[in-house]
Amino acid sequence: MAPDSTLVSEPFPISRVAGRYLLFDVDVMMHARRAYNICGVHIGTVPNLSQQNVFLGIPLELQPEEARVLVEQGHAYIVDDAEAHRNGFIHMSREERLSYVKAMDEQGLELTKETVKRAEERSDQVLRNKGLKGKGAKNDPSSASTVSDDKSDRADETLFDSAPVEPASARASAKKLDPTYVTPTTSYPPLKSPGDAEHILPNVPKSYPLFRYLHSRGYFTMPGLRFGCHYSVYPGDTLRFHSHYLATGMDWDEEFELLDVIGGGRLANRVKKAYLIGGEEKGTEQADDDGQVDGVTNIAPVRAFSIEWAGL
């Protein structure tokens, strides 16, 4: 079943773990992507079977710029994950702990039953393929006599085919089912969402004003390291569109080499994109009627320039 973003209540938590900003809830990931153009990068993998491609799972790591945009706009807040877990489990009552463990056991038992059921179905299919009836074949006299009369005709068969296979249901009923251990992907529950969390703004690089400007214009952004820039900029969802710009953010008074602009323009042209540079304009503020610039209060406007390499 597809995640339902309507189940997400705002502001939602962004976990800060070892200086990285992570989302663990699938519903929150889909909500951030659909509503706020936040893509992030999946980094989850199995420790003993690591992947070196983009087909990874949860958690979703956000760029500091993405996390800060969500916090500034009031859609999310930052939670120090280690501190939240330490305080949350210390103040958890015994009844809450037992209730949560019981819920996990019940969920694990359901998974075990489903696994046993699938195993029984596979075992029954094997028995039917061998000419047996599956469940109940052991108590069927005609089936037993048939097996007894045909022993001499099956002398060339393997040891495993020399006797009827005991149905999985009989083996499963003879022992008690142990619940499967379930590892939840989120901490809520058992921990309560820290509604009074401290308002923390992530530290961001100097390219953040350009990122905020592009985000306010409805663009999607992804890390642009492989193209030698800060961001790859998409006109829509990255699963549907190719990027249009390779963007680099700079300070307003920052000096840069002309060769960097030439190299960026030529590289962007080779991959059928435009090279874009921009920064926050210092000394001027142009606010709208609500006292905001680009939807955020008290920020200077950003100027951006696109460079397209054209042959003469």
User: What residues are annotated to the active site?
Assistant: 234, 242, 273
Task: Tell me phi and psi for residue 303, to 5 degrees.
Answer: -115, 135
Residues 6+ apart with CB under 8 A from 224: 230, 231, 232, 246, 247
* Rounded-to-integer distance, Cα 171 and Cα 60, Å: 42
User: CB–CB of 275/306 below 8 Å?
Assistant: yes
Strands of 20-23's sheet, edge to edge?
Answer: 41-44, 57-62, 20-23, 12-17, 76-80
DSSP 18-53: TTEEEE--HHHHHHHHHHH----EEEE-BTTB---S
* Rounded-to-integer distance, Cα 281 and Cα 301, Å: 6
